[in-house]
Amino acid sequence: MTGFHRPQATLTCDGVPLEAIVSAEGTPLYVYSAATIVERYRAIDDAFGAYPHSLHYALKA
């Protein structure tokens, strides 16, 4: 499962519990779903098809 989900009582991102990410990295932090970013990038890329294009994706740093 990709993106943010709350199976039972634990919030996860791409199947990784956010508690584990916070324990490893501390806070504050930004958490992004790599799978969702790739999925959306591919959707935009596919929409342009063979038309010459270049995609640029910005994230909060």
Token couple for 50: 């063979």
12 has which bridge partners? 5, 17
Ranges in the chain, pLDDT < 50: none
Domain residue ranges of the chain, discontinuous segments joined by +: 4-48
DSSP 21: H
Which structure tokens are listed for 24?
């490893």
pLDDT of residue 57: 84
Asked if 15 contacts 35 with a C-beta cutoff of 8 angstroms, the reply is no
Give the per-residue pLDDT at 61: 65
